[in-house]
Structure 1
Amino acid sequence: MTDQVPDTDQQGEMELAAERLQRFAHRLTRMAHEQVQSRASLEQRWLEDLRQYHGEYDPVTSANLQDSEGSKVFVNITRNKTNAAEARLQDMLFPTDDRNWGIGPTPVPELEGVEPGETAQGPNGEPVDLSQIAEQVKREAKKKARAMQDEIDDQLKEGRYQIKCRDVIHDAALLGTGVIKGPVIVGRTKKRWDTQGGISQLTIEEALEPSAERVDPWDFFPDMSARHIEEAEFIFERHLWTKRQLREFARLPGVLDEQLRSVVKGGKDNSQIAKDHTNDIRAITGVDSINSTNKYEVWEYHGPISKAELLDAFDEAGEQITEEEVDELNDEVEAVVFFSGNNVLKVVLNPMDTEDRPFSVFNWEKDESAMFGFGIPYLMRQPQRVINAAWRMMLDNAGSSASDIIVANRDLIQPADGSWSSQPGKKKLYFLTDKRRNVQEAFASFTIPNHQTEFANIFTMARQLADEETNLPLIAQGEQSDHITQTSSGMAMLMNSANIVLRRAVKNWDDDITRPTISRFYDWNMQYSDDEAIKGDYTVDARGSGALLVREKQQESLLAYANISAGNPEMAIRRDWKGLDRELAKALEVPYEQVTLPDGEIEEKKQQAQEAGDPEMQLKQAEIQLKMQEAQAKAQREQQDFQLRSQQQQWEQQFEAAKLQTEQEKARLEIALKEGITLAQLEQQAGLESQKLEAQMQQTAAKLQTERDKAAAQLTEEQNDRMAREQNMANGWDSYG
């Protein structure tokens, strides 16, 4: 029989536990206060960034301008620069028709239950090495990776991830730092209509799902000694909650009700640690300040706590923890603590087995000495001041030089109406009191020099310095200077050069936001999801920089690549033509789904084309037929050339025969004259020789005719041989008979 603990001892133990919890809350409050003090100078810089973004002077400059009688205008180019940079980065990171991340299997994926060297029995009882079934493992890994990608994509879309990321980009462009938090578990209401028997009924379901949230940089207080989020020993996040939000928080499991009631009884200002800059921001934007607020300051702590502090919080909440779990705890454990003032409201262990904290930080311009970076207003602070000063001087100088300074001698003149002031458009009458003096001696006019050109040069140089210091030229803002070429290729080159700096920002986003955030969602699904079809060995691919190419350049590259692949059979086999078609439509900004037939209709058209004849074979036959026609035309030209050559040779033979006959006649006539005999007698004597010569000439002509016939036969045979080979190749034969 166990001894009963007296009520007094139990009451004393409860008081000691409450005191320990109060000391725990006091320790966290002191740590938070230290981070708030360390960040005070940074907040003053943020306020100055906001004033510059909204076209307001800082308090010191504003007071000085109020004391002077000069111009007080503010030429706000900071807002345009900041908005242009923000919009440009958003357009690069979040294309409207694609994700900027992906999930794929590792290069050597390993499936659960498959060990290297493990064997099993095949269909016929033979041993099979499971680790050698590489292709099957890869296919299964790709299938599961796509399922995991779809699951995370659905979770992010439900939580409006892109909208919140745009807010983070705005924070980074304006203040230099943007923070996103995820996964955080939220209760989401899902509505579904069920129709049975013609009657529709609405079904509402509550589901806890992971989501992502944008964290206001003003409420983000990490370990200020850390230079990167990975180096932070702890992280604080401030919440300014209304009483309604406190009631919703009280419904969560593990909330310490007595501690929460103490916060409500203590009032809204009892737990204030950090200054609320809402009124300062409202004053900058021209909105009236609020004298009182109905917000309670609740802090969320992510970091190590002692084992004793954890056990005290669990005992106070009435939750149980097993001895095995206690033994597994080290001296410090990673936990999440909600507290307000000296009251601990809720303590839970880090829900992630990886002990990753849910925060990711993005800097527009990194600061190597701190976790917080620099925004566009800070980068162009000095050029903005020069621009304002130059513009004020231009206006003051223009006003001063527009009217002359008149000096009058009162001893020589007197106004007719007795007033020395003058009004525009009204004639003024003066009397010369000393007639011995000249009226020119009574008046003198002086003109203040006009320096508009010099001030305009300063203004222009300051604008150029703003482009240089922010690395955001006019071409990156959508504006075009006079010297920029009008050709498409030149414009593409300039746009690509202008994107170099933004490309670095996109890389930073990939490394600091996309990859760690998606990895945490992957870890959460691997740990808590009940769907085994999505679990596997994956890697996260952050591909925000893939959207940085200029669209015109991307279009040209895709078209060129498609043409090269189509002309090379080896490359054509490797291409996913459907995917390439989709990418071309995306680059050309064409609605792919609206201009593409469904898969069923595409298959029907392919079947119809095959029944009508294979288009590829028809094209091949047309090419062969064209080649045959070209070969026939070539043979005809060669035949014509041979006939011309033969005719020319015949003409030459006839000419030689006629020439030989003429020479013979001439020779006989000379001989007859010389010997004093008649030509008939000479022909009788030379008859035998003429017959011999004629026979020789006939023999030569016959020989030439034989050679011509032989050459013509050989040419005809070659033509027939060529045509036969081409016909056999068209039929797919390698030889001919």
Structure 2
Amino acid sequence: MANLGLLQYKTASEMHVEQAAEAQQMAAEEERRRQLVESSLGAHIRRSWESAKTAKQEVEYRLLDCLRRRKGEYSPDKLSAIRKEGGAEIYMMLTATKCRAAGSWIRDIMMPANERPWGLRPTPVADVPDEYIMPVLQQLQQQAMQAQQQGQQVDMAALVEQAREQVRQMAQEKAEEAAERHEVVIADQLSEGGWNDAFEQFVDDFVTYPTSFIRAPILRRVPTLEWLEGWQPVKTTTVRPEFERVSPFDMYPSPDATNIDDGAFIIERARFTRLQLNQLIGVPSFNEESIRRVLEQYGQGGLRDWLWTDGERAELEGRGHEWLTHGETIDGLIYSGGAQGVTLLQWGVNPDDIEDPLAEYEIEAILIGQHVIRVRINRDPLERRPYHKASYQPVPGSFWGQAIPELMADIQDVCNATARSLVNNLAISSGPQVEVYEERLQPNEDPTNIYPWKIWRTKDGNVTGNNAAVRFYQPASNAAELLSVYDAFEKRADDATNIPRYTYGNENVGGAGNTASGLSMLMESANKGIKDAIRHIDRGVMRRVIEALWLYNMQYSDDPSIKGDVNVVARGSSAMLIREQTSMLRQQFLQLTRNETDMSILGMEGRRKLLDSVAEKLDMPGLIPTEEQMEQNLAQQQKAEQAKMEAEQQLEQAKGQAEVAVKQAQAQKYGADAAETQADTQIAQQQAPLDAQHLLAEIAKLIAETQGKQNERTAVESPVANQQQPGRQIPAGNAQVPARGLSRLPGAMPGYA
């Protein structure tokens, strides 16, 4: 280094040396901090783990007992005692039936087909961001200045009140729009993050164990597909929230905990694969060097931290092969707990993350073996831990609740004992008991070989008196009494669990259940018990998960349209009641509005919305057209009606023209007929004289012939008559009658001479 007055300069080589030294110093500091974290924080996690294991020993017995009862298996001690006494080892699956019924009931309510058991609702008084307030204030100032320039009196109080009301309405509308958009975003995150699978497993745990757990949201870098031009797939990665069910066997709360957030810590026992650990390299808050050391030490042979419950748990869960195979998974501990800033600095946490050494910080750390691969401060503003729990029957002041198998444990034991006694009694009373006096049997007789119509060969006894060689005794059957005891205790299970048999299809209800109205009342009473259990899921899981997603989106989403002041509404416990009441009221409303007056008020759009809501509740989406489709349909109908009217008008015109043409044709026909008639009349008039003359000639001829024949007969009969009178001659042959004589003939037409 050289000095030139107040200036200093360094050569390039000197600067490279100093930069290398600084980098080496920073690496050494980072390594020292990492080793300090692994030594001090790792030791703290190990101590917390040991204390949590000790406090959970009794709970682990309960967890195993619940799982055995759900699977229908006896504990090793109980099974040994049963086998020692002999007889049947039957296990009545009453607990499994109740658990399955409760699980399906809860899924039906909490996982509806076309609804969400949650929602976002704006707060009554939504917070107003500055970007909404400033334009209104500027507009208010402009109005006041214009009024003052015009010489008007300005009531600033009224203007301020008007502006306040305007801002409030604007904020409320924006909050409602943001809540609707945010619901869609959260629904998409739940779908892509595996919420349905995790929640189904959670429900199985909920009806089986004293407490069930879900971890959410878990931010993970996951592989995804993107499509380029020509539909070419490209593998990329993205960070998204995911959801996991956590087994109650793997959760270890601190001894002083009564819920997730109030204890000193909570530890999850997790298993990692090599692929999962490799995906964590390069993710913020994960230490790459520690992950590589874990892979180097445990990547080939795995790391299994076996506990005393793991063997029986694996057998009951159907993973008994884990004891026989060489696993490659790596066990780790996920620690979530609070610590003071000074303690975190002593553990080696980066000082840049500690604003106040005396403040309390919530941290999350992952310990694998002796290596802490992650340490981060929980950035949740309310410092809530990413775990959520619920119990079928919570116990006030206790972290663990009561499960269905525990609520009906005594009833299940009595039913098992009764069933075993029933099977043993049926077996022993199914045939006779035989007493054999072997001294009286012949040597070749086998008393164990008994069959119908067998002949027993006996001999005299050496003792006084001949006692019977074979005697038969029939044990009494107690089946009816045992069955009545079993039925009575089986019914008691309905009261103990609030899950009646008729809720899952058992037809033997009796009493009020024999009628439709009575069964409806019984179902409504049974709903109270299951709604109370679902309410625990709403408060402990559903609301917390949706709030965590909402807060994550509010902090890190780039979409400003989804951000707003809202409250999370968990609708699971009231979903069934609301669904039934709403469906019934909508059906009634449909019937009441089927008149012209109400239809004129509702209009086509109102009726469409009502029908659409009813169809959606009936699981018939897409049946009712949308507003745009309805408008298109109405336009098409109007066009069709207009075309039909035009066609009818054209048809009417054509029909009228045809009728006119027909009438004209008829008129022409009538004219032709009249002309023909007139012509016939004229011809008839012209032919009439000729016809008359011809007729007269014919008549005259006929008369002449008639007179000639009479004269001939007269001449034959009287010769005198043949004489001619004097002065008169009648010519022979055809005598002609004088014309004047025709006028005297009877029937002669006047005017003809």
Per the TM superposition, whether the score is higher than 0.5 is: yes
Task: Measure, in 2, the Cα distance between the counterparts of 1:491 and 1:339.
Answer: 55
Distance 1:510 1:351, change over 3 A: same
Q: For 1:390-430, what per-residue CA distance to the aligned partner results, in whole angstroms no more than 9, with x for missing partners?
A: 1111111112222223334445x223614332333572422
| Residue correspondence of structure 1 range 175-214 to structure 2 within 5 A | 175-195=209-229, 199-214=230-245
Report the CA distance between 1:257 and its aligned residue.
4.3
- Give the corresponding residue for 1:252: 283
Distance 1:175 1:16, change over 3 A: closer
Q: For 1:461-520, what per-residue CA distance to the aligned partner results, in whole angstroms no more than 9, with x for missing partners?
A: 121121121111112222222415455444332222221110101111111111111111
Task: Measure, in 2, the Cα distance between the counterparts of 1:190 and 1:10.
Answer: 34
Secondary structure of the corresponding residue to residue 33 of structure 1:
helix
Q: For 1:29-51, what per-residue CA distance to the aligned partner results, in whole angstroms no more than 9, with x for missing partners?
A: 10111101111111111111111
8 Å contact 1:240–1:298 — kept in the other structure? Answer: yes
Q: For 1:349-370, what per-residue CA distance to the aligned partner results, in whole angstroms no more than 9, with x for missing partners?
A: 1132332211111111112242
Q: Does 1:160 align with 2:189?
A: no
Q: Is 4-13 or 245-254 further displaced after alignment?
A: 4-13
| Paired residue total | 601
Larger Rg belongs to:
2
Q: For 1:316-367, what per-residue CA distance to the aligned partner results, in whole angstroms no more than 9, with x for missing partners?
A: xxxx764xx5444544322111113443222111132332211111111112
Distance 1:611 1:18, change over 3 A: closer
- Give the corresponding residue for 1:137: 171
Distance 1:394 1:22, change over 3 A: same
- Give the corresponding residue for 2:250: 219
Task: Measure, in 2, the Cα distance between the counterparts of 1:551 and 1:170.
Answer: 24
> Counterpart amino acid of 1:132?
E
> Counterpart amino acid of 1:476?
T
Task: Measure, in 2, the Cα distance between the counterparts of 1:440 and 1:65.
Answer: 38
Task: Measure, in 2, the Cα distance between the counterparts of 1:270 and 1:27.
Answer: 23
Task: Measure, in 2, the Cα distance between the counterparts of 1:424 and 1:51.
Answer: 44
Normalised by the length of structure 1, the TM-score is: 0.73
- Give the corresponding residue for 1:72: 89
Q: Does 1:98 align with 2:128?
A: no
8 Å contact 2:393–2:402 — kept in the other structure? Answer: yes
Q: 2:71 aligns with which of 40, 49, 54?
A: 54
Report the CA distance between 1:164 and its aligned residue.
1.1
Q: For 1:512-544, what per-residue CA distance to the aligned partner results, in whole angstroms no more than 9, with x for missing partners?
A: 111111111111111111111111111111111
Task: Measure, in 1, the Cα distance between the counterparts of 2:354 and 2:471.
Answer: 98
8 Å contact 2:285–2:374 — kept in the other structure? Answer: yes
- Give the corresponding residue for 2:139: 121
Task: Measure, in 2, the Cα distance between the counterparts of 1:93 and 1:564.
Answer: 32
Report the CA distance between 1:578 and its aligned residue.
4.4
8 Å contact 1:219–1:238 — kept in the other structure? Answer: yes
Q: Is 92-101 or 240-249 further displaced after alignment?
A: 240-249
| Residue correspondence of structure 1 range 371-410 to structure 2 within 5 A | 371-410=399-438
8 Å contact 2:52–2:252 — kept in the other structure? Answer: yes
Secondary structure of the corresponding residue to residue 213 of structure 1:
strand
Q: 1:82 aligns with which of 99, 113, 121?
A: 99
Q: 2:537 aligns with which of 492, 504, 509?
A: 509
Distance 1:578 1:233, change over 3 A: farther
Task: Measure, in 2, the Cα distance between the counterparts of 1:611 and 1:242.
Answer: 66
Q: Does 1:111 align with 2:144?
A: no
Task: Measure, in 1, the Cα distance between the counterparts of 2:33 and 2:584.
Answer: 75
Task: Measure, in 1, the Cα distance between the counterparts of 2:336 and 2:600.
Answer: 53
Report the CA distance between 1:282 and its aligned residue.
3.1
Gaps of 5+ in 2: 2-17, 146-158, 642-753
Secondary structure of the corresponding residue to residue 380 of structure 2:
coil
Q: Is 285-294 or 495-504 further displaced after alignment?
A: 285-294
Q: 1:518 aligns with which of 527, 535, 546?
A: 546
Report the CA distance between 1:577 and its aligned residue.
4.6
Report the CA distance between 1:93 and its aligned residue.
0.7
Distance 1:10 1:340, change over 3 A: closer
Task: Measure, in 2, the Cα distance between the counterparts of 1:6 and 1:478.
Answer: 73
Task: Measure, in 2, the Cα distance between the counterparts of 1:331 and 1:172.
Answer: 37
8 Å contact 1:111–1:141 — kept in the other structure? Answer: no
The percent identity for this pair of structures is 23
Report the CA distance between 1:22 and its aligned residue.
0.2
> Counterpart amino acid of 1:143?
E
Q: 2:329 aligns with which of 295, 303, 306?
A: 295
Q: For 1:609-655, what per-residue CA distance to the aligned partner results, in whole angstroms no more than 9, with x for missing partners?
A: 89999xxxxxxxxxxxxxxxxxxxxxxxxxxxxxxxxxxxxxxxxxx
Q: For 1:175-212, what per-residue CA distance to the aligned partner results, in whole angstroms no more than 9, with x for missing partners?
A: 132211222212233334344xxx33334442212232
Task: Measure, in 2, the Cα distance between the counterparts of 1:402 and 1:571.
Answer: 79
Q: 2:572 aligns with which of 540, 544, 554?
A: 544
Task: Measure, in 2, the Cα distance between the counterparts of 1:475 and 1:18.
Answer: 62
Q: For 1:252-276, what per-residue CA distance to the aligned partner results, in whole angstroms no more than 9, with x for missing partners?
A: 3343344445545665999866617
Secondary structure of the corresponding residue to residue 530 of structure 2:
helix
Normalised by the length of structure 2, the TM-score is: 0.72
- Give the corresponding residue for 2:449: 422
8 Å contact 1:302–1:335 — kept in the other structure? Answer: yes
Q: Is 520-529 or 219-228 further displaced after alignment?
A: 219-228
- Give the corresponding residue for 1:688: none
Q: Does 1:282 align with 2:347?
A: no
8 Å contact 2:218–2:243 — kept in the other structure? Answer: yes
8 Å contact 2:41–2:347 — kept in the other structure? Answer: no
Q: Does 1:479 align with 2:506?
A: yes
Gaps of 5+ in 1: 614-737
Q: 2:55 aligns with which of 38, 43, 56?
A: 38
Distance 1:387 1:347, change over 3 A: same
> Counterpart amino acid of 2:264?
E
Task: Measure, in 2, the Cα distance between the counterparts of 1:508 and 1:254.
Answer: 34
Task: Measure, in 2, the Cα distance between the counterparts of 1:365 and 1:612.
Answer: 64
Task: Measure, in 2, the Cα distance between the counterparts of 1:116 and 1:16.
Answer: 48
Secondary structure of the corresponding residue to residue 323 of structure 2:
coil
Distance 1:486 1:447, change over 3 A: closer
Q: For 1:557-585, what per-residue CA distance to the aligned partner results, in whole angstroms no more than 9, with x for missing partners?
A: 32123444667969966996544323322
Q: Is 11-20 or 238-247 further displaced after alignment?
A: 11-20
8 Å contact 1:21–1:309 — kept in the other structure? Answer: no
- Give the corresponding residue for 2:259: 228
Report the CA distance between 1:112 and its aligned residue.
0.7
Q: Is 16-25 or 217-226 further displaced after alignment?
A: 16-25
Q: For 1:283-322, what per-residue CA distance to the aligned partner results, in whole angstroms no more than 9, with x for missing partners?
A: 235644524433322111112234355446667xxxx764
Report the CA distance between 1:132 and its aligned residue.
1.6
Distance 1:576 1:48, change over 3 A: farther
Distance 1:409 1:359, change over 3 A: closer
Task: Measure, in 1, the Cα distance between the counterparts of 2:451 and 2:601.
Answer: 84
- Give the corresponding residue for 1:582: 612
Task: Measure, in 2, the Cα distance between the counterparts of 1:266 and 1:433.
Answer: 86
- Give the corresponding residue for 1:444: 471
